[in-house]
Chains A and B, each alone.
Chain A
């Protein structure tokens, strides 16, 4: 692959451990992760079930904090941030693509994509609408603007989710098994789309997958086994 030279580290994890309470016991899901991801990378996190892929993405996605170690995302040490600051970081620097698409059911496609821009504020209606139209164009859903999520197919929904993740022009897009709920052809087209976005905007993509075909397309594969990085 035409992997570009890393420009700068946008995500770093050093000796990150994550424990989950499980009744009276604790489960150590991550056992000391050291990892650096650079701007513009198209990285996949691979590994068997229970190896800690989701846990890792949660930490990078600032929806959870490490038990031990330091996680730095877009220059900010997440362990030191309040809920408010973490939320702001997610809103302005990160984009999310979920396995189950997670669109807001009561909003139509256009409104779902517009939603993060509304949360950000500071944009005129015209600017916002142009931004939404452009990104919807790029994911190829211009004809479904006023449809509700339940009127869209799985592939279409995930395209909407991609548009929503990218509409704020984030630095990092995180996706936990974005193709797991899609058939392989659709999944493949979703990966194509993600790759295209990665290349055009230099947006960093970090996603997890079980699918070997998907892994092949990644610029970098970080392999996890039992809470430790074994390769990548």
Chain B
């Protein structure tokens, strides 16, 4: 038996060497297939691992529990209906928490509620006018003088732009009209008038000049209301990178680093960052890629408005510094200089980017639309369809250790649950009482929609807005953002809350973290059983499902890979099969001889199978080695995420894949299977060869 096997292996090895063409074709396909498998599965697993890490350890936990009556599936990172999903609600978190805590393998639960809100970031002119109005109100002469200087500066820039447009030949009448208005705002006479009669002239600025200035922007914020100290403890990669944690029992919001850097940052600066990242991190090329050239063109169009955002007092300084550094002539003004600075190519990008941050950025009015210490007015549609607004102070900026580059980790800004519930529009009895008390304390009132504008312009941000009909964002345009009016009373207004108030109230979903993350399925089933048992009517989903589109994207990607591999191996199967059939034909005489001498059909079958398996083992090993080599190499240099969708998948700008024995094993098992299947038919043909062919004359 051993002797027979030995001779089989020997024969197969010799046959492999003597049928070089067949060996080369079949071996190459097998090696390539194994290589692809190792590469594909390890990269996919690495993607999934990095995604799992950024999803599980930043927000989702291993499991998510939410209301069984939800109309839409939970989508932590956004679903198809941006922010307006109905995922139901869990009226009393503490009840569910108690039941969850009793289930084995549950390490911790974190109460949550997701919402999307808008924050209006004011334009420069609006902000200056607001400051001026406040200064007038206080009778602060110094502040008024400063405001005048800044407003005249902005108007001056607007005037310059109007003149440039006139040269290009835009609508003349319109431009002349604008010019006249701007000219008036630049005269000393006007400002003297304003000092004498502030109300009327402020109104004139508001109605005539402000509309000529670029508008402010709307920031969309994804919000996560949660028990902040618990959240920080449980998701232990959480860290405050700037500012401070919201103290226990206090209201407050922590902005995510990515929101701060991407949404809150000055748009032009952010666009510059993006181009810089594309080239430096992702290895793309401005010179070669039209898409990047378009981005540069868009950036250049922002040069004038960006120049307008440079502090008036530093304007001349920035201008002359840029002039020197860019080697421009004395007559070239700041807008043109910035445009020159933004005329980027592969060669000058790094230097000009650095130059921007060295010279221009530090002198910008607002490099970021918000700052730590600001009080944000968050607005969102409440569950009853009202448009709610709440004020909340920015305490700090947070990120997740090791996941700083991930778009998923830190996709939300976190705030306390009490504020969340208010914005969501749910008040417990106790809270309603509390509200009433607050209103009394600070003289707040629920205002009808018609009065909103007045109330807001009164500089009183701590209001609860009760909209009488479906509110739209546009109704709030021009509202102030942040701490412009020195409006500190909003913070004083809210008394501290107790842990019981946090726990015994409404949440939308609950993150469940497990001790053993290999038993996600079991624990999910256990929670579902408990919910059934206690009549809690809960949905329990794993992090992949909870992640929404992102999680599904992963499943789809994996399916695509397997379909691709299936097709490759199907093709391989056909090719291997064909060349094996040909090889079998060539060996008809040899097989016939063996059969005549006394070899059974089974022996012939085994002989062919052993031959492919030996070839498969050798080729597979070589392919797997090549795959391991490549993945190891990629693991050290990283795969750049050249597309934005890849940034999401890679959970960062580069993926550092790792390969493990399981990938190699899987690839070898597949290649083994393919070898056997592709040989069955030719081997079967071989068993049909009649011994009589051995007797036929051959030379």
Contacts and interface: CB of A to CB of B under 8 A. Distances in A.
Interface string B92-116: 0000000000000000000000000
Given A90-B596, A96-B597, A106-B11, A63 B603 contact: no
A144 interface: no
A119 B598 contact: yes
A96 B694 contact: yes
A150 to B, nearest CB: 10
A100 B694 CA distance: 9
Contact of B596 (A84, A96, A100, A128): A96
Contacts of A159: none
Contacts of B536: none
B182 to A, nearest CB: 96
B124 to A, nearest CB: 86
A94 B596 CA distance: 9
A63 B694 contact: yes
Interface string B583-610: 0000001100111111111010000000
Name, among A57, A83, A128, A181, the residue most crowded by chain B CB atoms within 10 Å (CB to CB): A83
B1 A105 contact: no
A91 B18 contact: no
Contacts of B594: 104, 115
B interface SS class: helix
Interface in B675-699: 690-692, 694-695, 697-699
Nearest to B13: A106
Contacts of B691: 63, 87, 90
Interface stretch (B2-10, B299-307, B481-489): B2-10
A63 B590 contact: no
A41 interface: no
A198 interface: no
Which of under 10, 10 to 19, 20 to 34, or 35 or more describes the interface residues of B? 20 to 34
Given A63-B692, A84-B600, A121 B589 contact: no
Contact of A106 (B18, B600, B601): B18
A38 interface: no
Nearest to B2: A125
A98 B694 contact: yes
B15 interface: yes
Interface in B360-381: none
Contact of A99 (B10, B597, B601, B697): B697
A63 B695 contact: yes
A72 to B, nearest CB: 19
A221 B15 CA distance: 42
A46 to B, nearest CB: 17
B208 interface: no
B69 interface: no
Contact of A121 (B1, B18, B699): B1
Contacts of B692: 58, 63-64
Nearest to A90: B598
B695 A91 contact: no
B697 A100 contact: yes
Interface in B375-411: none
A39 interface: no
A3 to B, nearest CB: 27
B184 interface: no
A107 B10 CA distance: 8
Contacts of A116: 597-598
A88 B595 CA distance: 10
Contacts of A104: 11, 590, 593-594
Contact of A176 (B10, B18, B695): B695
A118 interface: yes
A87 B595 contact: yes
A107 B11 CA distance: 7
A102 B587 CA distance: 12
B597 to A, nearest CB: 5
A61 interface: yes
B4 A121 contact: yes
A210 to B, nearest CB: 12
Interface string A216-229: 00000000000000
Given A87-B595, A116-B598, A128 B694 contact: no
Given A87-B598, A106-B14, 14 more contacts: A63-B692, A84-B600, A84-B601, A87-B600, A90-B596, A90-B597, A91-B597, A91-B598, A92-B598, A100-B697, A102-B589, A104-B594, A116-B597, A119-B4
Interface of B: 1, 3-4, 7, 10-11, 14-15, 18, 589-590, 593-601, 603, 690-692, 694-695, 697-699
20 contacts: A54-B695, A61-B596, A63-B695, A64-B690, A84-B601, A87-B600, A88-B598, A91-B597, A96-B596, A96-B597, A98-B695, A100-B697, A102-B593, A102-B694, A104-B590, A105-B590, A107-B11, A115-B594, A116-B598, A119-B598
